[in-house]
Structure 1
């Protein structure tokens, strides 16, 4: 372990330092959330046996009591669970999104907090999940799809561009900022290898830039939550003090929870209103601060996209294979469905605008996986349930199924949960599950 880092931790923790040192020899805490958009907690534990106990940090969150891995498990594939370090669920609990809120997750990949926000929205409201790095944005998108989220717009844009577009519109904004990752040292060796005081300072400056952008998106009385997975004061309380000094239209809200510890006092600023989580609290480490915008903000208007004329193949699919009756958009040969209008995000690159139903390829309509995992759209589709364990395994491996069902595209359910789809010729279902979701 880096000696300079340990000295900084000793200065920070003081009487808690020895307890922290003792945690360095322990395995990192692991946890998961149950996706209540698709299943109740009661039904989840009635169906699946997982050694765990409830986490203190958030609703629907659990700490694993086993070394078993669940990334290839059936409940994971069905989008019924999301693997998440326990303390990472704390920030959204503090943000407390409500149904009908508009929420911006500005640094959203890989998607743990965005999918948690979507659970709190319960299918209502609008979630904008943004990630600046294109590869990480694709991971974010895959998790949005897998968990069946239907009211999210996923963007791959800069903080400046996306917050300019959403200026004054958002009820809640989350900045789970890129950081030095001191709370991830046991899990990610690269975070430890990259650590230096210079890196900490560099991260703090980057975080200030992101926060300055985020504030622009808030409406009056809107809530901003700033979180990191690091312990460094420069990235945490000192950034909070900087916000309070720089932006007089924000006030710091005291976080009133039973877990963690108060933040470190910086000058005359009430930075003790923030919250710190340490490994002694049954989480690897998190910092959370909560702000409220107390002044009015100018509202940027959003244009609504107009749909291209639906092709005969799309109209046939909608008429014959789905009962969906809400908004439909055809743009650039891609067809989307959603509860909300389809807003024009201008020069922000949009990876997903609510639910991607499918694409028109050579005048032929081809459905998309998201249509069959979406909690909004999938229940309206023709489908068949696989009850035999061998059939389930065959499908998850990408094999065809010998099953007499009506011709056409058909959703595949396992344990009454959609996992993907296939195309039937009447007796055989050709597997359409994406290769990246198949098991060996």
Structure 2
């Protein structure tokens, strides 16, 4: 492909002797990856059912694998069961390097389409809270589907600016992930529009957005909290230079050094104005050093005092307070759900304890969607089937991977299978896919219409 002349001149000046190797990387095959959902299965269980041959481990992400050209993981039933997420391998680095601990309150500030949120959500292990945000409501809908497909129960999804979030969440989060909007130089090989955008807009607009987002993230971070800043660009102005300027403004913050593996290189202090050695604690993923398109990652800790001023949601309702929901849960599941719930226009959402009040924000999902009360009945959601293991459902139908009914179900077709009357969860190889309703020897297909395989 033809790279912009100004870009080539800039990269040549930065990389010098490495420049030819960098250019050669544009002739390499496109590397594609999947990341296993550890909320649903471990490595041994995955190895036992893995349908793809020749998977290669991604060095910097223990759940990540390269898959072979010709594999079609997006068409496989295991994808629909939420067993893995398809993700460009270098994009796995931010979610792998941010230090998530059980019970953390985490914000993924620029989250769509959901790769990093699903990664962080899996690492939280259904504890704490994950707030996933994207300024675009359209992109946030795709984000929601991926979070729900992964079965993440402790999540909220918003479509807001960082400034508006910062007015709500002062000093609230233990960890913040910022995969910042950037000039996308690491995407040139995959996306010609990224090249056109670079030629049209340059990097200054992105730098302005990055400065605003970093400031707002600082406001939302607790004392001793950490934020991981990342981009998919090579520009020093958006990477080392951006971190340098932020630290000069906030001396109560420090870089937590990260160590690269598998060809990941350290940050380049010499490309900044101050040339401070601490900037070498950042990481750079280059396409001529590893199998990936490229990324920058830097971990920052806030040491200054911060006060949590976030208003909590006042919730008194529990499942027992909605008789029709209580009856459904007791009749069809073995679940013992004691966390709060909220009801919005007959739709019911599961909340975390001590959930924040999102009033005034553009909210896509206020907690995990359980289902809807409609005409004196409860219709369960798709995510309710995906968020719990098969043992939690009283009527579970398990299909083998070669069974033609698996694809029929994912296409929304009626199934001719004998099953206990009423609601059943249907799954593949021990992993739930969704709901059916059994009547007279047939299974009415309740798989979400907008999720169906075409």
Q: TM-score, normalised by structure 2?
A: 0.92
Does 2:232 match 1:229?
Answer: yes
Aligned to 2:307, the other structure's residue is in SS state coil
Do the aligned partners of 1:104 and 1:174 also contact (CA within 8 Å) in 2?
yes
Aligned to 2:106, the other structure's residue is in SS state strand
Q: Specify whether residues 131 and 381 from structure 1 end up closer, same or farther in structure 2 by C-alpha distance, changes over 3 A only.
A: farther
Measured in 1, the distance between the counterparts of 2:165 and 2:248 equals: 25
Alpha-carbon deviation of 1:72? 1.4
The equivalent of 1:47 in structure 2 is 49
Aligned to 1:343, the other structure's residue is in SS state coil
Does 2:368 match 1:359?
Answer: no
Runs of 5+ consecutive residues of structure 1 not aligned to the other structure: none
Alpha-carbon deviation of 1:338? 4.8
Instruction: Name which of 392, 404, 411 aligns with 2:418.
Output: 404
Instruction: Name which of 264, 268, 285 aligns with 2:268.
Output: 264
Instruction: Name which of 326, 332, 339 aligns with 1:327.
Output: 339
Q: For 1:224-260, what per-residue CA distance to the aligned partner results, in whole angstroms no more than 9, with x for missing partners?
A: 1100001111111110111011112211222123342
Measured in 2, the distance between the counterparts of 1:303 and 1:118 equals: 21
Q: For 1:325-365, what per-residue CA distance to the aligned partner results, in whole angstroms no more than 9, with x for missing partners?
A: 22241412111235534432121222223321101223332
Instruction: Name which of 406, 413, 432 aligns with 2:446.
Output: 432
Aligned to 1:384, the other structure's residue is in SS state strand
Q: TM-score, normalised by structure 1?
A: 0.95
Measured in 1, the distance between the counterparts of 2:356 and 2:279 equals: 38
Q: For 1:57-98, what per-residue CA distance to the aligned partner results, in whole angstroms no more than 9, with x for missing partners?
A: 212111223342311112211111111111111112221211
Q: Specify whether residues 405 and 71 from structure 1 end up closer, same or farther in structure 2 by C-alpha distance, changes over 3 A only.
A: same
Bigger mean CA offset, 143-152 vs 195-204: 195-204
The equivalent of 1:294 in structure 2 is 303
Measured in 2, the distance between the counterparts of 1:121 and 1:390 equals: 35
Instruction: Name which of 326, 333, 339 aligns with 1:315.
Output: 326
Alpha-carbon deviation of 1:47? 0.9
Q: Specify whether residues 49 and 410 from structure 1 end up closer, same or farther in structure 2 by C-alpha distance, changes over 3 A only.
A: closer
Alpha-carbon deviation of 1:151? 1.2
Alpha-carbon deviation of 1:218? 0.9
Q: For 1:180-228, what per-residue CA distance to the aligned partner results, in whole angstroms no more than 9, with x for missing partners?
A: 1111112112111211384311101111111110111111111111000
Aligned to 1:327, the other structure's residue is in SS state coil
Do the aligned partners of 2:317 and 2:340 also contact (CA within 8 Å) in 1?
no
The equivalent of 2:66 in structure 1 is 63
Measured in 1, the distance between the counterparts of 2:395 and 2:362 equals: 32
Aligned to 1:351, the other structure's residue is in SS state strand
Instruction: Name which of 160, 163, 180 aligns with 1:160.
Output: 163
Measured in 2, the distance between the counterparts of 1:70 and 1:11 equals: 40
The equivalent of 1:32 in structure 2 is 34
Measured in 2, the distance between the counterparts of 1:226 and 1:28 equals: 25
Measured in 2, the distance between the counterparts of 1:341 and 1:214 equals: 21
Aligned to 1:24, the other structure's residue is in SS state helix
Runs of 5+ consecutive residues of structure 2 not aligned to the other structure: none
Instruction: Give me the CA root mean square deviation.
Output: 1.9
The equivalent of 2:179 in structure 1 is 176
Measured in 2, the distance between the counterparts of 1:261 and 1:345 equals: 40
